[in-house]
Chains A and B, each alone.
Chain A
Amino acid sequence: MTIEALGLEKRFGSFAALRGVDLKVEPGELLALLGPSGSGKTTLLRSIAGLETVDRGQILYEGIDADTISLRDRRVGFVFQHYALFRHMTIADNIAFGLKVRPRRERPPRAEINARVEQLLELVQLGGLGGRFPAQLSGGQRQRVALARALAIEPRVLLLDEPFGALDARVRKELRRWLRRLHEEIHVTTIFVTHDQDEAFELADRVVVMNDGKIEQIGSPAEIYDQPATEFVYEFLGGANRLPCHVEGGVALIAGTRLTTDLPRDFTGDAVAFVRPHEIGVARPNGHIDDVAQVRSILPIGPDARLDLEHVSGHIEALVPRESLDAAGIGVGSRCAVRIARARVFPTS
């Protein structure tokens, strides 16, 4: 199903959770909403589900205004961060609940409900555990029950709010892979919220990066990584060095290295360059003064080494092969020349 959000705005008191969000979700797609806490991603998800009413804007389900569709008829499967299972019901009853509470006309016969529950328990690999209560299951198992419950009503759209946030790292990884496979199997339009970029990149067909109630960038994981649209995206994806620089005629001087930028040819002025650690190389100083930095520390990580460099323009983190250090005779406390292979430059506003 296609879902569209048009100019959504939402305030909680004086806090603006959404300020003008436009988004189109394609049918059968697995979409991640990525952003720091307070960026409005959960509010967006809850608004799509109908759990929150927006102050302004419109949500369309296949072109129909969602306000005119009751929550029941939206057929949304929602998975909550803390599972939200009904504690006084068995696993089987939890999964069947969404079907059992339907009005008599739409309710499938009992035998069919039971068969469907069994089938779903198999799908989430919990066959035979239908008689247990939520408290008797582990976190990972509970989250799979929550997913089965969401799938029971044959949702037109599946919404997951930080589904793996409360689980430990190993279980999280396992469930991630499992969810990806499940999505390939059933192909229901899925939106999930996360603040973990690895999760978003591993799972999603498209990633929506949000900040401060607005969408910063929408794109495939590769696009987002290779061409971050804004400073925020670059910083949020982590690990990048932020270096003030000067641009003259579209060419930037970053820590002594001249680089052609994407900026217009006639642009001249101050800018900020983002450089990822592996895009930086080091060499023996060659007499120039602009590119010289002092090595503060060297931390070996497998075949590479992470260097902390002190340059006039600031602190630089570099990731270089260890051999290149030995070749250039670079050690802690020595000086080296910084070579920047690639950078993305944003003009200072």
Chain B
Amino acid sequence: MKIVDAARTNADPDLSDPDAQDAGSWDVEADDDRLTILVRGHWDLRMALRADAELRETDLGGAARGVIDLTAVSMLDTMAALVVMRLARRIEATGATVELRVADSAHRSLLEQVEQAQIPPPPRRRMNALTERVARVGKWAVLMATDTRDLLAFFGELCVVLLRIVRHPRRLRFVSMVANMQAVGLNAVPIVGLLSFLIGVVLAYQGADQLRRFGAEVFTVNLLTISVLREIGILMTAIIIAGRSGSSFTAQIGTMKINQEVDAMRTMGLDPMEVLVVPRVLALALTLPLLGFYSDIMGLLGGALMCRLNLGINFDAFLNQMNQVLAIYDTSLWVGLAKAPVFAVVIALVGCFHGLEVSGSAESVGQRTTISVVQAIFIVIVLDAIFSIVFSALQI
């Protein structure tokens, strides 16, 4: 919609003379591609209400261009301006361009004010429920696809930068990496230990309860050993670290992004990938396997304690049985730990990716942090399922 200035027509020579104020009126002229609405005279609240009711019924046709000529208006109040704007919007909604011609700068500013005022948009054309649902699924799918593509591109970029660092090891920011190892590894020891221990306890208790019915209590140890070493230990660790460190990566980098620190780095010729992402990815890739191993031990300890209390299997017998199991399933520990670096890279990658995707406001940091945690845990579990299938196909 465009408001243009034009010369006054039929101007009222004396504003202060009330007799000279003619009543308001309007005319609609339509030809093939142009719709002209001539608005004249005195337009106040009463006039506006009358006009609004009638104009609503007017057929606006399919003109490509709409002109609302207000150059002959002697008086215009807010309500009248609103009616004019509404008319202009309706013409616009048919796909036409609209031009408002005004002669009076006061009318112009009133129209501009009214245009900016919050007028609820015309009700959206309602789709039927099925189309709407299909549309929503489609939008969601496209969003997922672009997100996946961006994440993959980010992974590719990371690989390139990692290769560069392999060729020039000096470029690695060692101090930053060690600091991150402390933050994501060492500082996570208590929480990972406690939770793994408790999971071991729960698993042993539930397993023993079921197996007792068959008099096979001693197989609780088999259940524990295999499930903790192959799955539970590393999965628990990955989920805890995704919630704890993946989110903090997003928040840290996101805050730096908003604070324009990332831009400041780039103007100094530093690559945020090299400075911010690589140390975090490497730190997590190095510490997550260690944490996973530690989690295995704590889980088994929890299970051993439960076996001792609940089933009367003492520690020696527990270890003995465990040895027998592992003599057959000798790859269990490695099957579990082999997944750790993969999960680590996923968690760090997703965390950093969303951190760098933050834009605009502090609110965006919060949103991105949430998305990053959910996405990291989701990908970790999907990958775990894929690993399961692959390992069973390979019969290890």
Residues of A within 8 A of B (CB): 46, 49-51, 70-73, 76-78, 80-82, 84-87, 97-98, 101-102, 104, 149, 153, 241-246, 270, 272, 289, 294, 310, 312-315, 348-349
Docked-complex contact B269 and A313, CB < 8 angstroms: no
Interchain CA distance A246-B268 in the complex, whole Å: 56
Docked-complex contact B264 and A82, CB < 8 angstroms: no
Interchain CA distance A153-B268 in the complex, whole Å: 8
* Pick from B7, B8, B13, B266: contact of A71, CB under 8 Å: B266
Interface size class of B (residues with CB under 8 A): 20 to 34
Please report whether the interface of chain B is mostly helix, strand, loop or mixed according to DSSP.
loop
Docked-complex contact A294 and B15, CB < 8 angstroms: yes
Interchain CA distance A272-B3 in the complex, whole Å: 13
On chain A, the residues within 8 Å of B263 by CB distance are 46, 51, 78, 80, 84
Docked-complex contact A270 and B11, CB < 8 angstroms: no
B103 CB-CB contact with A under 8 Å: yes
The smallest beta-carbon distance between A18 and chain B, in angstroms, is: 18
* Pick from A51, A85, A241, A244: contact of B103, CB under 8 Å: A244
The smallest beta-carbon distance between A90 and chain B, in angstroms, is: 15
* Pick from A78, A272, A313, A349: contact of B267, CB under 8 Å: A78
Q: A153-B268, A313-B104 are in contact. Are A348 and B6 (CB under 8 A)?
A: yes
Interchain CA distance A9-B236 in the complex, whole Å: 50
On chain A, the residues within 8 Å of B5 by CB distance are 242, 244, 270, 272, 348
**Looking across the interface, which residue of chain A has its beta carbon closest to that of B262?**
A84
**Looking across the interface, which residue of chain A has its beta carbon closest to that of B268?**
A98
Interchain CA distance A272-B103 in the complex, whole Å: 10
**Looking across the interface, which residue of chain B has its beta carbon closest to that of A71?**
B269
B270 CB-CB contact with A under 8 Å: yes
**Looking across the interface, which residue of chain B has its beta carbon closest to that of A75?**
B269
**Looking across the interface, which residue of chain A has its beta carbon closest to that of B263?**
A51
On chain B, the residues within 8 Å of A312 by CB distance are 8, 11-13, 15
The smallest beta-carbon distance between A211 and chain B, in angstroms, is: 15
Docked-complex contact A289 and B13, CB < 8 angstroms: yes
Which 6 A/B pairs are nearest by Cβ-Cβ distance?
A72-B269, A314-B105, A84-B260, A78-B267, A84-B264, A80-B260
Q: A244-B5, A244-B7, A270-B5 are in contact. Are A315 and B106 (CB under 8 A)?
A: yes
Docked-complex contact B105 and A51, CB < 8 angstroms: no
Docked-complex contact A243 and B105, CB < 8 angstroms: yes
B4 CB-CB contact with A under 8 Å: yes
Can you name 20 A-B residue pairings with CB atoms under 8 Å? A46-B263, A51-B263, A51-B266, A71-B268, A72-B269, A77-B267, A84-B263, A149-B264, A153-B268, A244-B104, A244-B105, A289-B14, A294-B16, A312-B13, A313-B8, A313-B103, A313-B104, A314-B105, A348-B4, A349-B4
**Looking across the interface, which residue of chain B has its beta carbon closest to that of A84?**
B260
On chain A, the residues within 8 Å of B261 by CB distance are 84-87
The smallest beta-carbon distance between A346 and chain B, in angstroms, is: 10
On chain B, the residues within 8 Å of A102 by CB distance are 269
Please report whether the interface of chain A is mostly helix, strand, loop or mixed according to DSSP.
mixed
B367 CB-CB contact with A under 8 Å: no
Interchain CA distance A71-B264 in the complex, whole Å: 11
The smallest beta-carbon distance between B110 and chain A, in angstroms, is: 11
Interchain CA distance A21-B263 in the complex, whole Å: 23
Q: Flag B14-29 by CB within 8 Å of A: 1 or 0 each.
A: 1110000000000000
The smallest beta-carbon distance between B95 and chain A, in angstroms, is: 17
On chain B, the residues within 8 Å of A315 by CB distance are 105-106, 109
Interchain CA distance A98-B270 in the complex, whole Å: 9
Among A102, A246, A270, A289, max chain B CB count under 10 A is at A270
The smallest beta-carbon distance between A314 and chain B, in angstroms, is: 3
Within 8 A of A (CB), among B239-271: 259-261, 263-264, 266-270
The smallest beta-carbon distance between A155 and chain B, in angstroms, is: 9
On chain A, the residues within 8 Å of B270 by CB distance are 72, 101
On chain B, the residues within 8 Å of A77 by CB distance are 267
Docked-complex contact B269 and A82, CB < 8 angstroms: no
On chain B, the residues within 8 Å of A243 by CB distance are 105
Docked-complex contact B13 and A101, CB < 8 angstroms: no
Among B8, B12, B105, B270, max chain A CB count under 10 A is at B105
**Looking across the interface, which residue of chain B has its beta carbon closest to that of A335?**
B16
Interchain CA distance A313-B106 in the complex, whole Å: 9
On chain B, the residues within 8 Å of A246 by CB distance are 7
Within 8 A of A (CB), among B1-60: 4-8, 11-16
Interchain CA distance A312-B73 in the complex, whole Å: 12
The smallest beta-carbon distance between B252 and chain A, in angstroms, is: 10
The smallest beta-carbon distance between A71 and chain B, in angstroms, is: 5
**Looking across the interface, which residue of chain A has its beta carbon closest to that of B16?**
A294
**Looking across the interface, which residue of chain A has its beta carbon closest to that of B6?**
A270
Besides the contacts A71-B266, A243-B105, A289-B13, what 6 more A-B pairs have beta carbons closer than 8 Å? A84-B263, A98-B268, A244-B6, A244-B104, A310-B15, A315-B109
On chain A, the residues within 8 Å of B108 by CB distance are 242, 314
Docked-complex contact B260 and A82, CB < 8 angstroms: yes
The smallest beta-carbon distance between B151 and chain A, in angstroms, is: 20
Docked-complex contact A72 and B259, CB < 8 angstroms: no
Docked-complex contact B259 and A82, CB < 8 angstroms: yes
On chain B, the residues within 8 Å of A72 by CB distance are 268-270
Among B109, B260, B267, max chain A CB count under 10 A is at B267
